[in-house]
A and B are shown apart, each in its own frame.
Chain A
Amino acid sequence: MPSQIAATLRTKAASAVPTDKYLSWGRYPKAAHEHVYRPAWSDQVPGIMQAAPSGSLLAYGLGRSYGDSCLNADRALVDCRRLNRILGFDESAGMLRCEGGVTLTDIVDVYLPQGWFLPVTPGTQFVTVGGAIANDVHGKNHHRAGTFGAHVQQLGLQRSNDGLVFCNRERNDDMFRATIGGLGLTGLIAWADIRLRRVAGPWIDAELIPFRSLAEFIGLSRESDGRFEYTVAWLDCFAGKNLRGIFFRGNHSAETRQTSPPKRGPKLPFTLPEWMLNRYSVKAFNELYYRVHAAKHGPSRIRYDSFFYPLDSVRQWNLLYGKRGFLQYQCVIPETNVAAFEELLERIARSGMGSFLGVLKQFGSAPAAGMLSFPRPGLTLALDFAMRGERTLELMRSLDEVVQQSGGALYPAKDARMSPAMFEASFPRWRSFVPYIDPKMSSSFWRRVTEAQ
């Protein structure tokens, strides 16, 4: 069957768009695609879907998924970046209608000067609305606002067999819940209505607090979640038992002063040689990071982009990890199981393989917006690991044991290697999602974790 798909696609491709440019953010695994469609208008999408063989397509946005959930090896992608029109804005309700390829940058650039902000934002603004919905992304305000999908009021889903399907919480509500967090498998998100939130201006009243233990972090989280809309922590994963980190918390400021739009920062021009990133250089970085931020201890007023998107200031920072790319490990562990969390950190520290950005966040208890949404009550940890072959994968498998025993879960948007069993443990009800998959859609991730070929 794959060879038949490949043959059909090859005739259509006719040398066309080079498909090797389509990678995920972690640059691992490196998939080759048979073809990439690049529709410029939404009216071209139905034709693409109808002509495609079954199980051959996947929508692709800005490629910020870390692993293979945005890849469709040996099959085809539909690059949605040109489908990026804002279709309308109802100011009385803050309701934005836009196509799936509109980016969060677009939304912030257009609506922040008018006093509106994203209801939920992940740690980068370089994602599309379609991607934010398909991964049901979360942000620093999960304890207050839930996930991105919770603020989607309605969406238009292009399906191969039944056209453009309107879904919301009343109409086609099951398809709506399947599409939120549905990894792009239920169809192509043509447009969505998203409720923006009012803000006074582009400023965040932020506060930095150093902490030296997990108990201290949990205490800070508890104490802050009622008073602060945004909370998150950076963690030094090399510290092991002598845990340390910086707790960030903030609220939208009442300050209304506008600033000039943020400058697009420098760009990492090429992949860094792998030897430059080793336990000593990373340890030194973490030491420096901790000291600099601990010194800034206390409240300050900073612009939204340096609060939400510190990494966006270096474009293509993923090239830092060298040719083989990197893996991100993001899990959630039920909060009651602090021991499991400590075991996890212990294993990471012992491996000596952790890297800069350990991110720790306490999820809230909002009900999941989608069938396959990842966030659930507990502590979530996200950590980058340079891909160094089998020993990296070995470490992750050992982390899986801890996560699975604790009753936790892994985040598909960050994953390139979890086993079908681990997926099953993370999403025990995934089989009830299957009937909503569009027969034309598939992904490398999905085939891997459900063992379909």
Chain B
Amino acid sequence: MTSASNSPSSNSSSSPMRKIIVLGATSGIAVEVQRQLARRGYDLLLVARSPERLAALQSDLLARGAAQVLTCPADLARIEKHGSIFEFVRRSFAGYDTVLLAYGSMHNQKDSESSVEILLDELNINFVSASALLTVFAADLEERRTGCIAAITSVAGDRGRRSNYVYGSAKGALSLFLQGLRSRLHPAGVKVITIKPGPVQTAMTDHVPNASRFADPELVARDIVHALERRSPDVLYTPKIWRFIMSAVEHIPETVFKRLSF
């Protein structure tokens, strides 16, 4: 676990949101979000599996203007490690005010239809481990009566589709979890933002046909950063058009929907 800073502990004062923890810092969307946060001079704590990738990100984000970048290599899918991650946060990044959960996994749906192991892995990464981790941070922020929790779910979680329902159900469960969490933390003044991107061009979707028509991660990141800074809205669809697409999709009667192959 390493730390590096541009100007030690000078920038972390006054402004309401300056210290952000990114869980899954090496995911495609997270990388873009962090760049934009770096340009605005934030303090960042990056959590992800690979120490080498974290080191490359750390130097890049410092060069691009981040006030401070700490890294914490950890496999977030392993719930038994969550305690030590939080311990690190308490020791080294105590004044954090925002947590962005940005990791996820999208297997080929066909694989999780034939392998329970892959199915459980998909559910564990996208939902079980995510909700476990957020519970730890929620308790802390609730006690401090401040801050913001944001998590990247997916429009795929709004309706179960033939081609992608395993990923969709895990993300949908996470969306429901966040909805409840938002209500629970409301009295404490802690904001919870559910981020629902449409398909985005990242390494996670490279294997999907037509990936080149997916949204530019830079634009999606811009919406996310904007939401983090305003701590609003409760539910962010990005690109915005997906709010309308999904509200239409949700109104298709099930008797029709079950016949659709997408």
Q: Decide if B172 is an interface residue (CB 8 Å cutoff).
A: no
Do A17 and B59 touch across chains, with their CB atoms under 8 A apart? Answer: no
Interface residue from B57, B203, B207, B209 paired with A82 (Cβ < 8 Å): B203
Do B212 and A85 touch across chains, with their CB atoms under 8 A apart? Answer: no
Interface residue from B31, B50, B63, B210 paired with A86 (Cβ < 8 Å): B63
Distance between Cα atoms of A87 and B4 in the complex (Å):
13
Distance between Cα atoms of A154 and B31 in the complex (Å):
27
Distance between Cα atoms of A175 and B109 in the complex (Å):
45
Distance between Cα atoms of A89 and B64 in the complex (Å):
11
Interface residue from B26, B57, B203 paired with A38 (Cβ < 8 Å): B203
Do A86 and B59 touch across chains, with their CB atoms under 8 A apart? Answer: yes
Do A110 and B64 touch across chains, with their CB atoms under 8 A apart? Answer: yes
Mask: chain B, 37-64; 1 = CB below 8 Å from A; 0 = not = 0000000000000101100110110011
Given contact pairs A17-B211, A38-B203, A43 touches B50 in the complex (Cβ within 8 A): yes
Which of under 10, 10 to 19, 20 to 34, or 35 or more describes the interface residues of B?
20 to 34
- A window 338-367: CB within 8 A of B: none
Nearest CB on B from A16, distance (A): 6
- A window 8-67: CB within 8 A of B: 14-18, 21, 38, 40-43
Q: Which of A16, A21, A41, A89 counts the most B-chain CB atoms under 10 A from its CB?
A: A41
Q: Decide if B206 is an interface residue (CB 8 Å cutoff).
A: yes
Q: Decide if B197 is an interface residue (CB 8 Å cutoff).
A: no
Do A41 and B53 touch across chains, with their CB atoms under 8 A apart? Answer: yes
Complex interface: chain B residues within 8 A of A389 (CB): none
Mask: chain A, 188-209; 1 = CB below 8 Å from B; 0 = not = 0000000000000000000000
Do B206 and A86 touch across chains, with their CB atoms under 8 A apart? Answer: no
Complex interface: chain A residues within 8 A of B104 (CB): none
Total residue contacts A-B, CB cutoff 8 A: 49
Complex interface: chain B residues within 8 A of A42 (CB): 56
Nearest CB on B from A397, distance (A): 36
Distance between Cα atoms of A110 and B209 in the complex (Å):
35
- B window 26-41: CB within 8 A of A: 26, 28, 31
Do B57 and A16 touch across chains, with their CB atoms under 8 A apart? Answer: no
Do A21 and B207 touch across chains, with their CB atoms under 8 A apart? Answer: no
Do B60 and A14 touch across chains, with their CB atoms under 8 A apart? Answer: no
Complex interface: chain B residues within 8 A of A14 (CB): 207
Nearest CB on A from B51, distance (A): 11
Complex interface: chain B residues within 8 A of A89 (CB): 63
Complex interface: chain A residues within 8 A of B202 (CB): 40
Distance between Cα atoms of A88 and B202 in the complex (Å):
25
Complex interface: chain B residues within 8 A of A82 (CB): 203
Given contact pairs A18-B212, A86-B64, A38 touches B206 in the complex (Cβ within 8 A): yes
Given contact pairs A38-B206, A40-B203, A82-B203, A87 touches B56 in the complex (Cβ within 8 A): yes
Complex interface: chain B residues within 8 A of A99 (CB): 56
Given contact pairs A41-B53, A43-B53, A87-B56, A16 touches B28 in the complex (Cβ within 8 A): no
Complex interface: chain B residues within 8 A of A15 (CB): 207, 209
Distance between Cα atoms of A324 and B197 in the complex (Å):
37
Nearest CB on A from B181, distance (A): 30
Nearest CB on B from A178, distance (A): 26
Distance between Cα atoms of A43 and B57 in the complex (Å):
13
Complex interface: chain A residues within 8 A of B63 (CB): 86, 88-89, 110
Do A86 and B203 touch across chains, with their CB atoms under 8 A apart? Answer: no
Complex interface: chain A residues within 8 A of B65 (CB): 110
- A window 80-107: CB within 8 A of B: 82, 85-89, 99
Given contact pairs A18-B212, A110-B63, A110-B64, A85 touches B206 in the complex (Cβ within 8 A): no
Do A87 and B52 touch across chains, with their CB atoms under 8 A apart? Answer: no
Q: Which of B31, B60, B64, B207 counts the most A-chain CB atoms under 10 A from its CB?
A: B60
Complex interface: chain A residues within 8 A of B60 (CB): 85-87
- A window 95-138: CB within 8 A of B: 99, 110
Distance between Cα atoms of A14 and B50 in the complex (Å):
27
Do B206 and A16 touch across chains, with their CB atoms under 8 A apart? Answer: yes
Distance between Cα atoms of A16 and B50 in the complex (Å):
25
Nearest CB on A from B155, distance (A): 22
- B window 105-157: CB within 8 A of A: none
Nearest CB on B from A421, distance (A): 39
Do A43 and B52 touch across chains, with their CB atoms under 8 A apart? Answer: yes
Least CB separation from A96: chain B residue: B63
Distance between Cα atoms of A142 and B16 in the complex (Å):
49
Distance between Cα atoms of A123 and B157 in the complex (Å):
46
Nearest CB on B from A22, distance (A): 10
List 17 A–B pairs whose Cβ atoms lie within 8 Å, in order of A's numbering.
A15-B209, A16-B206, A16-B209, A16-B211, A17-B211, A18-B211, A40-B26, A41-B50, A41-B53, A43-B53, A85-B57, A86-B60, A86-B63, A87-B60, A88-B59, A88-B63, A110-B63
